[in-house]
């Protein structure tokens, strides 16, 4: 095994560990702000996983949309909506402990068995590639309607969010 392959695998495990550490911080932290920042770390690790899955474009999109937009939106939501006192002592995770552990363990083992046992038939021949022009062509020709609908949904969501955040129909 060459040195480059070893370095690539070590980087892969670093991304996996980053993802899991961020997820643990997001799920278990006592403070809301730490949970949101843990989510940002987790999403950065997932961006690295997308890189290993062959798509540099989605790596960039993950960092731009998820880390750059959604996490910042959540940080703003926390900072605008809560008083400093509430942020300082928010999000105690003291209850439902046994229920949470039971639900997650049951879900994990229930889904782990088919994941380990199933075999997935690999497609015989590739009809496309990972290149950006092919992705753009697929997005704008074959999935054109879905693409337009997503943009309409996003517009409706933003308008609805503004209406909700400014106090509803009365004000």
Partner 1 sequence: MLSASSYLTTYLIIALVLFVMGIYGMVRHRSFMGMLVSTELILCGASINFMAFNRFVLPDPAIGQVFTLFIMGIAAAEAAIVVSFILAVYRKYQTDDPSAVHDLRH
* Contact flag: residue 124 with partner 1 (CB under 8 A): yes
DSSP secondary-structure letter at 166? T
Tokens of 121: 């038939």
Contacts of 32 (CB under 8 A, 6+ apart): 78, 82, 87, 90, 91
Least distance to partner 1, CB of residue 84, Å:
14
Contacts of 12 (CB under 8 A, 6+ apart): 48, 52
Quickly tell me which residue has 């003291």 as its tokens: 94
* Contact flag: residue 135 with partner 1 (CB under 8 A): yes
Asked if residues 19 and 46 have their Cβ atoms less than 8 Å apart, the reply is yes
Distance CA 171, CA 159 (A): 15
* Contact flag: residue 17 with partner 1 (CB under 8 A): no
* Contact flag: residue 39 with partner 1 (CB under 8 A): yes
Least distance to partner 1, CB of residue 88, Å:
13
Could you say which of 14, 86, 88, 148 contacts partner 1 (CB under 8 A)?
Answer: 86
Please say which residue, 69 or 88, places its beta carbon nearer to partner 1: 69
Could you say which of 2, 85, 116, 145 contacts partner 1 (CB under 8 A)?
Answer: 116
* Contact flag: residue 61 with partner 1 (CB under 8 A): yes
* Contact flag: residue 111 with partner 1 (CB under 8 A): yes
* Contact flag: residue 154 with partner 1 (CB under 8 A): yes
């Amino acid at each position: 095994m060459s040195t480059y392959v070893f370095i690539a695998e070590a980087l892969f495990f670093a991304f996996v560990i980053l993802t899991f550490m961020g997820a643990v911080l997001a799920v278990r932290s006592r403070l809301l702000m730490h949970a949101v920042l843990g989510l940002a770390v987790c999403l950065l690790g997932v961006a690295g996983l997308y890189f290993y899955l062959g798509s540099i474009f989605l790596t960039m999109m993950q960092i731009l949309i998820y880390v750059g937009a959604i996490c910042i939106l959540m940080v703003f939501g926390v900072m605008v909506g809560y008083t400093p006192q509430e942020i300082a002592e928010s999000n105690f995770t003291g209850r439902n402990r046994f229920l949470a552990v039971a639900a997650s363990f049951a879900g994990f083992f229930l889904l782990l068995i088919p994941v380990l046992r199933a075999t997935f038939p690999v497609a015989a021949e590739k009809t496309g590639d990972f290149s950006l022009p092919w992705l753009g062509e697929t997005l704008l020709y074959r999935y054109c309607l879905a693409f337009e609908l997503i943009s309409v949904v996003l517009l409706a969501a933003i308008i609805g969010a503004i209406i909700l955040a400014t106090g509803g129909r009365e004000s």
